[in-house]
Every structure is written in structure tokens, then in C-alpha cells.
Amino acid sequence: ERFAKRNGGKMPSMSQAGSYSGTLAYLAAVARTGRAGDGAAVVSAMRAAGVFDDPLFGKTSVRADGRVIHDMYLVEVKKPSESIKPYDYYKIVSVIPGDKAFRPLSDGSCPLAN
């Protein structure tokens, strides 16, 4: 809603929301390390943060392979009569826990995870 207030009432797209989330996590890691120029230290700080509360995606973590883990949602498009405001399109049918929504680390072949 903060985004919409600054952008003529338009809500962010999924890509914009994801970019915002990633940027916030990056900036928090830079603040913890104080080393914006050291990408390896920043990424290490992001992984070391453990589970953090992302303002858009809730409880979130970064795995050793770089995959960001958070709950995912199965949604259903609302009937027009169910919408109560602009951009109120979906109702959550179920929440898929992050550890079930993404491929397990053990099933991947990312060399960074070893």
C-alpha cells in the first residue's frame, strides 16, 4: 500500500515486490557487515541471518545454494462481488510451507551448496 500511495494507486507487480524484498535483505546485510564492496561478506551475512521476517513474504531464509525460502500461497481469483477494494483479486486457499514449496537442498546439484 505504501508503493501504491506513491504510484498513483497502482500496486507493485510480482517482479517489483520481489526486487524490493531482495533489496531490503541486501541492504540489511550491508548494514550488518559495513562492507558494501565485499559481495562475499554480504552474501554470507544474508545466509547467516537465519530466518528473518520479510515485510512482503513473511518468515524467510536464504539457503547455502542461494535459494530464498518462504511460504507460498495457493490462491483463487475472487468473484467481482467478493472484492472490496482495487487490486483485491485473490483469496488464499492454502499456505504451502517453504520447506515443502521448494526443492530440498539435498535434491539439488548446486556446487555452491557443497
Taking the model in full, what pTM does it have?
Answer: 0.79
pLDDT for 49 equals: 87
Q: Are residues 63 and 93 in the same domain?
A: no
pLDDT at 3 over 90: no
Query: How many domains, the chain?
Result: 2
pLDDT for 106 equals: 87
Q: Are residues 14 and 44 in the same domain?
A: yes
Q: Which range of residues forms the domain containing residue 95?
A: 71-104
Residue 17, in any domain of the structure: yes
Q: What pairs with residue 52 in β-bridges?
A: 60
Q: Are residues 28 and 80 in the same domain?
A: no
Burial of 32 (0-12, 13-18, 19+ CB in 10 A): middle
Q: Are residues 63 and 46 in the same domain?
A: yes
pLDDT confidence tier of residue 83, bands split at 50, 70 and 90: very high
Half-sphere exposure of 46 (CA within 13 A, CB side): 26
- Residue environment code for 72-89, b if the CB has 16+ CB neighbours within 10 A, otherwise e: eeeeeeeeeeeeeeeeee
